[in-house]
A and B are shown apart, each in its own frame.
Chain A
Amino acid sequence: MKTQSILICGVGGQGILTASDLLSDVLLQAGYQVKKSEVHGMSQRGGDVISTVRFGDQVFSPLPALGETDYILAFEKLEALRNINYLAAQGIVLVNDFEWQPLPVAAGFEKYPQDVVERLRRLAGELVLIPATRLAAELGNDKASNVVLIGLLASRMQIDKPVWLEVLRKKVPPRFLDLNLKAFESGYGFKA
């Protein structure tokens, strides 16, 4: 099997690394070779965060090349656009319909572009907007938005649902498990 790539992006503090860890464990469980990369450090202080996951029979680089990513899972709209050049032709973009102003925008130095969704639609093979933050908040905690997004990604990938649920049960602390299982289902069953 040809190596496939997934790029997860968003803002520090949104649970991006937890999501990419879950995803990597699912892929390992499903029998693939998996490599994952992430960036720590300064970017954790409200900066942009990227994690990439690659899987297949034999994976070398943990980083995809530009134009080589099959799925972009974005926790914030602007971050999807920032990383759009990693997307392969006909790649799938799954985006949390959520806007988080970068500090230079909040402080009035720069503007948040108003045409993010149109530009994504033009460049993506398929674009799905999901109100993951709102869906998670309705379930009781907006922090579970990362698992809503993982649920949506699961619905687009060729890995059996029980594998995802098994990894969630194994990795999520018991007191958050119920919330996270519901969050996963709400993403998995999401219809735009």
Chain B
Amino acid sequence: MAKELLSGNEAIARGAWEAGITFAAAYPGTPSTEILENIIRYKEDIYSQWGANEKTAMEEALGASFTGARAIVTMKHVGLNVAADPLFSASYIGATGALVIVSADDPGMHSSQNEQDNRHYAVAAKLPVLEPSDSQEAKDMVLEAVKISETYDTPVMIRMTTRTSHSRSAVELGERQAPPAVEYKSDFAKRNLLPGNARRRHVAVEERLKKLAVLSDSFPFNALIKGKERVGVLASGISYQYGREVFPDACFLKLGLPYPFPIELFRRFAAMVDKIYVLEENDPIIETFARLAAPQKEIVGKEVFPLLGELSQDVVRASLGLKDLAPRAPLDGVPARPPSLCAGCPHTAFFYNLGILKVQSKGDIGCYTLGALRPLSAMDTCVDMGASITVQLGIEKALEKAGQTTRQVAVIGDSTFFHSGITGLIDVIYNQGKSTVVILDNSITAMTGHQENPGSGRTLMGQAAPKVDILKLVRDGLGIEHAYEVDGYEVKAIRELLKREMARQEPSVIVVRRPCVLLYRKARWSPARVDKEKCTSCKTCLRLGCPAISTDADGKSLINVSLCSGCGVCIQVCPYQAIAYADESGLHISSTTLESFAKGGGK
């Protein structure tokens, strides 16, 4: 069979295809996004879609499973919090066609607000969880998950992590299994979780868990690997790979199915060794089961290895008090390189204006969270998807009760607004909040790499779709009278609108619209240029935090032509008219209308 280098996410997509899955749904989120982006390579065989959020995606996959179709739903770890409600119900209901739930966790928080360990969800929802340690296993485990799901009538979780999702290794490709026949047959006792039915279903769940524990003892991906020494390493996921590097001669028990824990297999392993090190990222889950299974054994776990961050060979070595392989050089004076909003980002002018107005916005999750970083520094909260609007309402009401007034602005992107901002806005209207909600609409889910969304006019499968018109939804649908739209590149217009709406004692919404600059074909646009004679080194343009603007040796502003997209925002903010388009008669992004973009001015 052919071998190909695949990332863990590509391997999951390939596994879904080989396993005869015909339905896939997700909401994008790092590090899980590429799974569905790769599943569309098989769009002849697999129907796939973006859900508005992880909960809708999970419920849609469950519905597909009701028909006997094999379904997969993927999300980042915090996405499973959103989908937790259907997760627990799905456990009681079971699976007609296979239901595979992929949670991509992010130990080390490369791109997340926490590093929760989602194996806890498997334990809490009483579901089996698989944990691959490389791409081959990621693919193989989708096939195993489908088999377990249909044999044991259970949804099956696969826990990926950033490192397994975004590492590449060789994978042997297989053929596609024929998908099962699909037919919707009613099953009231199983699928209608009225308390009477649910009580009986809970009995089935507990019985299922006992059978799965028996399976775990003989499951091929729970492997005992003999070594030369009587030192044992119990590991799951990528931690196994780190363990093999640090303990070349140890015996290993590698758990591909960490829950339900293989108690008998573990006891056999424990008898082979004098001491056991447990390697797992984040929380002591297999460690806790191991201690219960062999209370007399010397087990070394989280009292030595960290609960925080990713493991690596270095972290494992350091935890054991071993020296680095080479001396470390001091890295003093090496400035950090934090991410920033792109040159020409349509969010920049808005955050710049907040700075001028001295307002700290209540923020949300997306590219625009970078508006919190200096020099823009205009966002003091970021909690979870959709929390900008609701956190703001809570602040406002608590202050109001204490007799204080405040000027509050919530900031949320288009995709996040569809995900879980709309319900918060309904709270604002119903409870008569007075704050201003700003929706930064760049017509795409940008942070995770430009996924289509309900406002972008296209589906994951590449078909034209009706666009949800945010302004109409807010004004005509939810009944917010004061809802306005403004171009993201219009610095003054944004500021005037903000000032007016923040002063208003009624709820208001400002939609700041302009497609993501990365969607424009860049090369055609004329960049901006600084007239060194007129530049007074006042540094106003540097307050935009635009990566194309820096200073030259004389302290005058300098624009990097190859990065500049010609958005014209710096031209507007310069108090001395020292910045202008290099080619005044050239093509300027800022003079394209939003409608012309929609008609194909972009990608």
Which A-B residue pairs are the 9 nearest by beta carbons? A67-B326, A41-B111, A106-B550, A67-B325, A45-B339, A47-B339, A102-B337, A41-B30, A60-B244
Other than the given A62-B241, A87-B326, 11 more pairs (CB < 8 A) read A28-B170, A40-B111, A40-B449, A45-B339, A46-B342, A62-B163, A67-B328, A81-B334, A84-B329, A101-B550, A104-B338
Contact B326 A36 (CB under 8 A): no
Looking at A12, A61, A68, which has the most chain B CB atoms within 10 Å of its CB? A61
Contact B30 A37 (CB under 8 A): no
User: How many angstroms between the C-alpha atoms of A61 and B134 in the bound complex?
Assistant: 9
User: How many angstroms between the C-alpha atoms of A186 and B497 in the bound complex?
Assistant: 54
**A37-B166, A45-B370 known; A65 vs B338 contact (CB < 8 Å):** no
User: How many angstroms between the C-alpha atoms of A155 and B370 in the bound complex?
Assistant: 40
Instruction: Note all chain B residues with C-beta closer than 8 A to A36.
Output: 5, 167-169
User: How many angstroms between the C-alpha atoms of A48 and B331 in the bound complex?
Assistant: 15
* B-contact 0/1 string along A83-123, CB 8 Å cutoff: 01101110000000000011111111111110000010001
Instruction: Note all chain A residues with C-beta closer than 8 A to B339.
Output: 12, 42-47
B312: CB under 8 A from chain A?
yes
Residue in A closest to B31 when the chains form the complex, CB atoms:
A40
Give the contacts of B427-455 with A (CB-CB under 8 A).
Answer: 448-449
Contact B325 A66 (CB under 8 A): yes
B52: CB under 8 A from chain A?
no
**A35-B169, A66-B325, A78-B335 known; A28 vs B539 contact (CB < 8 Å):** no
Shortest CB-to-CB span from B536 to chain A, Å, is 15
A34: CB under 8 A from chain B?
yes
Could you show 29 A-B contacts with beta carbons less than 8 Å apart? A33-B169, A36-B169, A40-B31, A40-B449, A41-B31, A41-B110, A41-B111, A46-B339, A60-B241, A60-B244, A60-B245, A61-B242, A62-B168, A63-B312, A65-B313, A66-B324, A66-B325, A67-B327, A78-B335, A82-B334, A102-B336, A103-B338, A106-B542, A106-B549, A107-B550, A108-B539, A109-B375, A113-B333, A142-B562
Instruction: Note all chain A residues with C-beta closer than 8 A to B367.
Output: 45
From the candidates A81, A102, A107, name the one contacting B374 in the complex (CB within 8 A): A107
B482: CB under 8 A from chain A?
no
Give the contacts of B296-338 with A (CB-CB under 8 A).
Answer: 312-314, 317, 324-329, 331, 333-338
Which chain B residues have a beta carbon within 8 Å of chain A's beta carbons?
3, 5, 30-31, 110-111, 134, 162-163, 166-170, 238, 241-242, 244-245, 312-314, 317, 324-329, 331, 333-342, 367, 370, 374-375, 448-449, 539, 542, 545, 547, 549-551, 562
Shortest CB-to-CB span from A27 to chain B, Å, is 9
* B-contact 0/1 string along A126-162, CB 8 Å cutoff: 0000000000000000100000000000000000000
From the candidates B31, B313, B335, name the one contacting A104 in the complex (CB within 8 A): B335
Shortest CB-to-CB span from B284 to chain A, Å, is 21
Shortest CB-to-CB span from A30 to chain B, Å, is 13
A16: CB under 8 A from chain B?
no
Shortest CB-to-CB span from A170 to chain B, Å, is 12
From the candidates A88, A106, A109, name the one contacting B547 in the complex (CB within 8 A): A106
**A33-B170, A35-B134, A68-B325 known; A105 vs B335 contact (CB < 8 Å):** yes
From the candidates B5, B337, B341, name the one contacting A28 in the complex (CB within 8 A): B5
A185: CB under 8 A from chain B?
no
Instruction: Note all chain B residues with C-beta closer than 8 A to A43.
Output: 110, 339
User: How many angstroms between the C-alpha atoms of A92 and B36 in the bound complex?
Assistant: 39
Looking at B111, B241, B334, B370, which has the most chain A CB atoms within 10 Å of its CB? B334
Looking at A43, A82, A88, A103, which has the most chain B CB atoms within 10 Å of its CB? A103
Contact A106 B326 (CB under 8 A): no
From the candidates A40, A89, A106, A113, name the one contacting B166 in the complex (CB within 8 A): A40
User: How many angstroms between the C-alpha atoms of A8 and B169 in the bound complex?
Assistant: 17
User: How many angstroms between the C-alpha atoms of A48 and B335 in the bound complex?
Assistant: 11
From the candidates B245, B312, B337, B545, name the one contacting A107 in the complex (CB within 8 A): B545
Residue in A closest to B373 when the chains form the complex, CB atoms:
A103
Instruction: Note all chain B residues with C-beta closer than 8 A to A68.
Output: 325-326
User: How many angstroms between the C-alpha atoms of A161 and B245 in the bound complex?
Assistant: 31
Instruction: Note all chain A residues with C-beta closer than 8 A to B244.
Output: 60-61
Instruction: Note all chain A residues with C-beta closer than 8 A to B110.
Output: 39-43
A11: CB under 8 A from chain B?
yes
Residue in A closest to B162 when the chains form the complex, CB atoms:
A39
Instruction: Note all chain A residues with C-beta closer than 8 A to B327.
Output: 67
Instruction: Note all chain A residues with C-beta closer than 8 A to B324.
Output: 65-67
Contact A89 B326 (CB under 8 A): yes
Which chain A residues have a beta carbon within 8 Å of chain B's beta carbons?
11-12, 21, 24-25, 28, 33-48, 59-63, 65-68, 78-79, 81-82, 84-85, 87-89, 101-113, 119, 123, 142
User: How many angstroms between the C-alpha atoms of A118 and B571 in the bound complex?
Assistant: 39
User: How many angstroms between the C-alpha atoms of A59 and B335 in the bound complex?
Assistant: 33
Contact B169 A39 (CB under 8 A): no
Contact B342 A61 (CB under 8 A): no
Contact A61 B169 (CB under 8 A): no
From the candidates B325, B336, B539, name the one contacting A65 in the complex (CB within 8 A): B325
Instruction: Note all chain B residues with C-beta closer than 8 A to A82.
Output: 331, 334, 337
Looking at B168, B170, B333, which has the most chain A CB atoms within 10 Å of its CB? B168
User: How many angstroms between the C-alpha atoms of A107 and B317 in the bound complex?
Assistant: 39
User: How many angstroms between the C-alpha atoms of A72 and B109 in the bound complex?
Assistant: 25
Contact B547 A46 (CB under 8 A): yes
Residue in A closest to B164 when the chains form the complex, CB atoms:
A62
User: How many angstroms between the C-alpha atoms of A123 and B330 in the bound complex?
Assistant: 11
Residue in B closest to A27 when the chains form the complex, CB atoms:
B5
Shortest CB-to-CB span from A40 to chain B, Å, is 6
Contact B317 A65 (CB under 8 A): yes
Shortest CB-to-CB span from A42 to chain B, Å, is 5
Residue in B closest to A115 when the chains form the complex, CB atoms:
B333
Residue in B closest to A24 when the chains form the complex, CB atoms:
B5
Residue in B closest to A114 when the chains form the complex, CB atoms:
B333
Contact A48 B241 (CB under 8 A): no
Contact B245 A65 (CB under 8 A): yes
Shortest CB-to-CB span from A15 to chain B, Å, is 14
User: How many angstroms between the C-alpha atoms of A107 and B376 in the bound complex?
Assistant: 11
Instruction: Note all chain B residues with C-beta closer than 8 A to A25.
Output: 5
From the candidates B134, B325, B334, name the one contacting A88 in the complex (CB within 8 A): B325
Residue in B closest to A142 when the chains form the complex, CB atoms:
B562
User: How many angstroms between the C-alpha atoms of A108 and B3 in the bound complex?
Assistant: 50
User: How many angstroms between the C-alpha atoms of A111 and B336 in the bound complex?
Assistant: 11
User: How many angstroms between the C-alpha atoms of A66 and B341 in the bound complex?
Assistant: 31
Shortest CB-to-CB span from B381 to chain A, Å, is 18
User: How many angstroms between the C-alpha atoms of A128 and B540 in the bound complex?
Assistant: 39
Contact B375 A107 (CB under 8 A): yes
User: How many angstroms between the C-alpha atoms of A87 and B325 in the bound complex?
Assistant: 10
Shortest CB-to-CB span from A49 to chain B, Å, is 9
Instruction: Note all chain B residues with C-beta closer than 8 A to A119.
Output: 329
Looking at A59, A60, A67, which has the most chain B CB atoms within 10 Å of its CB? A60
User: How many angstroms between the C-alpha atoms of A61 and B247 in the bound complex?
Assistant: 12
Shortest CB-to-CB span from A176 to chain B, Å, is 15
Contact B166 A38 (CB under 8 A): yes
User: How many angstroms between the C-alpha atoms of A102 and B367 in the bound complex?
Assistant: 18
Shortest CB-to-CB span from A140 to chain B, Å, is 13
Looking at B328, B333, B335, which has the most chain A CB atoms within 10 Å of its CB? B335
